[in-house]
């Protein structure tokens, strides 16, 4: 089994580190780690240090002997998914599985056909849930560079973002539309790839036109229609394989 990952605000400068607080409690009382077991400490932004447990103290303190601090380089090809807001808890499901798969940035999108509306305190709480989910899924999947969950964007803001990347695709399920298979389109060898995933009701014609005008390609994954909460994960997996990040 690979070593569990724990998040710290600052990587240790010395040969020993005390993991306490919620992370220490999880390590001692939930994971029940003991002397001799390996752990990874990370700031979630690419810097990490391996360590070996020296002692578990009480219910929330883990004494760890650590080695040098390392930094995972940013990938040559970075993948951003613009995710339309799903109903219920499907948003957290999407964030969790995309994080586990390896997406680099997640952008919530208030699409025209979204049933869910992020307004006021509800929007802030929902965004906090997405960010918390990305953090926990990053730990679970043993990542040391967690995805950024950006503030929610409007359609106009998403179109502006499309215009700045090296390749952008809108996942579109309409077989009658002139779409291309995402599995065969030409991809950049370096730079930013952006995927737009629509809501349950689909991307509206006006949104599709705005994204195409900004430079996005209209692509399909396959012959079946995926839920909005799974389409981004499936597309990310396909791109990670095609760009060599999974090789």
Q: What is the pLDDT along the chain (247 residues), one digit of tens a residue?
A: 689 999 999 898 779 999 999 999 999 999 999 999 999 999 999 999 999 999 999 899 999 999 889 999 999 999 999 999 999 899 999 999 999 999 999 999 999 999 999 999 999 999 999 999 999 999 999 999 999 999 999 999 999 999 999 999 999 876 556 789 999 999 999 999 999 999 998 999 999 999 999 999 999 998 888 999 999 999 999 999 999 999 8
Q: Are 11 and 95 in a shared domain?
A: no
Q: Are residues 135 and 214 located together in one domain of the fold?
A: yes
233 CB-near residues (< 8 Å, 6+ apart) = 94, 97, 98, 101
Task: Count how many residues are written for the chain.
Answer: 247
42 occurs within a structural domain: yes
The pLDDT assigned to 225 comes to 86
Residues 56 and 82 in one domain: no
Which CATH number goes with the domain that contains 187? Answer: 3.40.1280.10
Residue pair 90/129 in contact by the 8 Å Cβ criterion: no
What confidence score (pLDDT) does residue 175 get? Answer: 57
Q: What pLDDT sits at residue 224?
A: 87
Residues 63 and 81 in one domain: no
- Structural domains of the chain, count: 2
Q: Are residues 201 and 84 in the same domain?
A: yes
* Residue 150 domain-assigned (yes or no): yes
Verify that 125 and 37 share a domain, yes or no: no
**Residue where a domain terminates, one of 47, 71, 95:** 71
Domain containing residue 66: CATH number: 2.40.240.20
- DSSP-assigned letters across all residues of 29-90: IIS---TT-EEEEE-SBSEEEEEEEEEEETTTEEEEEEEEEEEPPPPSEEEEEEEE--STTH
pLDDT of residue 1: 63
Say if residue 95 is in the same domain as residue 173.
Answer: yes
pTM of the model: 0.93
- Is 247 contained in some domain? no
Residues 55 and 134 in one domain: no
Spatial distance between the Cα atoms of 127 and 103, rounded to a whole number of angstroms = 17
Answer yes or no: do 204 and 177 share one domain.
yes
Specify if 174 maps to a domain. Answer: yes
Whether 83 contacts 94, CB under 8 Å: yes
Which residues touch 63 (CB under 8 Å, ≥6 apart)?
A: 16, 17, 18, 19, 53, 54, 55, 56, 57
Query: Is 144 within a domain?
Result: yes
- Predicted confidence at residue 13, as pLDDT, reads 78
Q: Residue 62: which domain range? A: 5-71
Does residue 147 sit in the same domain as residue 210? Answer: yes
């Amino acid at each position: 089994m690979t070593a569990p990952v724990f998040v710290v605000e600052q990587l240790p400068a010395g040969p020993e580190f005390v993991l306490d607080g919620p992370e220490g409690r999880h390590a001692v009382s939930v994971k029940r780690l003991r002397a001799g077991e390996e752990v990874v400490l990370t700031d979630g932004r690419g810097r990490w240090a391996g360590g070996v447990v020296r002692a578990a103290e009480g219910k929330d303190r883990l004494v760890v002997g650590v080695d040098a601090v390392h930094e995972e380089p940013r990938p040559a090809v970075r993948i951003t998914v613009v995710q339309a807001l799903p109903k219920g808890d499907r948003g957290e499901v999407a964030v969790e599985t995309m994080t586990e798969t390896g997406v680099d940035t997640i952008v919530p999108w208030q699409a025209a056909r979204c049933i869910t509306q992020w307004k006021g305190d509800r929007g802030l709480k929902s965004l906090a849930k997405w960010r918390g989910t990305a953090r926990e899924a990053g730990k679970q999947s043993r990542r040391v560079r967690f995805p950024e969950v950006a503030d929610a964007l409007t359609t106009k803001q998403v179109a502006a973002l499309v215009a700045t990347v090296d390749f952008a695709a809108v996942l579109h399920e309409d077989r009658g539309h002139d779409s291309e298979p995402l599995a065969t389109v030409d991809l950049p060898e370096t730079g930013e790839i952006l995927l737009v995933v629509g809501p349950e009701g689909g991307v509206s014609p006006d949104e599709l036109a705005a994204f195409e005008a900004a430079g996005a390609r209209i692509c399909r994954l396959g012959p079946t229609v995926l839920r909005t909460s799974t389409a981004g994960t499936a597309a990310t997996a396909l791109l990670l394989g095609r760009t060599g990040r999974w090789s």
